[in-house]
Structure 1
């Protein structure tokens, strides 16, 4: 007679699901923390011009966005001329220095030299407004400027 007996009914034991809720909540919290929500709500029309040599910027937390374009359909009460949007409100060109100062104050001191101003300008916006914005940026020494575009061929893209 042998000391060890073989089990006759070789059934697999049931899968233990006791830790499943912990795993689900851990994934939920991870995605809640890691997901970046949209920072600004666009109040302007912003169909970007096409460019064939486009690069993605690496550090998104070091970007300051200035939007320019005509107010969208739901904001027609602000007129039909091209306007500037800083964060979530329409602004005048004279408010740009205060906006830049506030953005610089939100960042750590060692990050301030690496801040880049991104101009997201509608393709139908007149160049005079863009020139005024750039002049104000020069006054506050925000000289790193990047234009936001969409990838495409300028010749083939429709006007």
Structure 2
């Protein structure tokens, strides 16, 4: 008589699901870290002009965005067709820019406050007087680093 019995059936053993929760949580963590959320909802028409000498900003967390252009079709009944300024998720007046810049500076660490860049995303149909007013308010708020956001292409396309 033998002490050990061999299994006669050739069935495969069941697949172990012990590591499945680890894999699910690892994927969940990856997508939580890698996903970026949209910061603002664009309420204006923003057809950016073309430029042929374009540089990419390195640190986007140090950029404050000011949008300018005509309200999109959804908001024209409420705000008209005149070019407007959008700060974050709301329309603003020229006088609100200084307060916006100061709030953005205060939300950053002290050593980063002087490295903040203001990026103007201005529709190509926007009047240059509005852009001059924005720049004047930025000077009053001591925000001297200004960037104009454009599309890459031939500048002659802006005349068409």
5+ residue gaps, structure 1: 1-8
Please name the residue that 2:48 is paired with: 48
The number of residue pairs the alignment matches comes to 153
Q: How does 1:93-108 map to 2 (within 5 A)?
A: 93-108=94-109
Tell me the SS of whatever aligns to 2:139. Answer: helix
TM-score scaled to structure 1, two decimals?
A: 0.87
Please name the residue that 1:33 is paired with: 33
List per-residue Cα deviations over 1:24-71 (Å, max 9, x = no partner).
222212211332111000100000001112121111110000000000
- Supply the RMSD in Å over aligned alpha carbons: 2.1
The whole-number CA distance in structure 1 between the counterparts of 2:158 and 2:94 is 30
The whole-number CA distance in structure 1 between the counterparts of 2:16 and 2:24 is 15
Indicate conservation of the 8 Å contact 2:50/2:157, yes or no. Answer: no
List per-residue Cα deviations over 1:118-154 (Å, max 9, x = no partner).
0000000010000000000001110000001111112
TM-score scaled to structure 2, two decimals?
A: 0.87
The whole-number CA distance in structure 1 between the counterparts of 2:128 and 2:145 is 19
Return structure 1 stretches of 4+ with deviation > 3 angstroms: 9-17, 156-159
Tell me the SS of whatever aligns to 2:95. Answer: helix
The whole-number CA distance in structure 2 between the counterparts of 1:10 and 1:63 is 65
The whole-number CA distance in structure 2 between the counterparts of 1:47 and 1:15 is 55
Tell me the SS of whatever aligns to 1:100. Answer: helix
- Please say which of residues 144-153 and 16-25 is displaced more in the overlay: 16-25
Please name the residue that 2:3 is paired with: none
Deviation at 1:155, TM superposition (A): 2.2
5+ residue gaps, structure 2: 1-8
